Chains A and B, each alone.
Chain A
Amino acid sequence: ETGVTQSPTHLIKTRGQQVTLRCSSQSGHNTVSWYQQALGQGPQFIFQYYREEENGRGNFPPRFSGLQFPNYSSELNVNALELDDSALYLCASSLASHPNTEAFFGQGTRLTVV
């Protein structure tokens, strides 16, 4: 196991609702990235947090927002859910915001929007 835990593992929401997904990073890791993986696709980068600051963002609308806490755990918030938001949401933690640092993924949260 990677030591990265995500909650909840599964979630069903209605279109228009809001959702918060949580991630506990591996001990000692100060960088958390969030990815969205639609069925049959590779993960798509949403954003990254490094030492509680957003360090970069992918091509996702502002209704996707996040936080990182002093213990380096993180939240992903999605407002005004759309059907296309149905996906596996993955959190990855790493030791530093460096391209060669290995990222360890949590088991993901499977979100279904109906």
Chain B
Amino acid sequence: RKEVEQDPGPFNVPEGATVAFNCTYSNSASQSFFWYRQDCRKEPKLLMSVYSSGNEDGRFTAQLNRASQYISLLIRDSKLSDSATYLCVVNGGRDSSYKLIFGSGTRLLVRP
């Protein structure tokens, strides 16, 4: 079983749509959670950290459910520029908190 699992997509949505990505992680000791965005043939960039209380940054809302080991990302009013791969990321837990563990990513295509 992969440590971080994501639906690979692609999610193909029209501009203005709301889209949700989900992710599960296996290490209950993980303490830090993130969503990264990666454009084609580019490096990953931090989109937002994810907190237990949930957090919002403009059109983006992230949620964490520690009991279910589940992380979500909601994008409202999708823009063409949101087309990218979204990577769910957790840290390695108590004994390996220094490393980031990435899911395989969910590809989003926003069409006009």
Contact = CB atoms under 8 A, between A and B. Distances in A.
B100 to A, nearest CB: 7
Contacts of A58: 99
B43 A56 contact: no
B16 interface: no
A107 B44 CA distance: 9
B25 interface: no
Interface in A39-60: 40-45, 48, 50, 55-56, 58
Contacts of B102: 35, 42-44
Interface stretch (A12-20, A75-83, A97-105): A97-105
Nearest to B97: A99
Interface string B29-50: 0011000000000111110010
Please name the 9 residue pairs, one residue from A and one from B, whose CB atoms are nearest each other, closest first.
A42-B102, A105-B43, A99-B91, A99-B32, A45-B99, A99-B97, A56-B98, A42-B104, A43-B102
Interface of A: 2, 33, 35, 40-45, 48, 50, 55-56, 58, 90, 92, 97-100, 102-103, 105-108
Given A45-B99, A56-B98, A99-B32, 19 more contacts: A33-B98, A33-B99, A33-B100, A41-B104, A42-B4, A42-B87, A42-B89, A45-B92, A50-B98, A55-B98, A90-B43, A92-B100, A99-B91, A99-B97, A99-B98, A100-B32, A100-B49, A103-B46, A108-B43
Interface of B: 4, 31-32, 42-46, 49, 87, 89, 91-92, 96-105
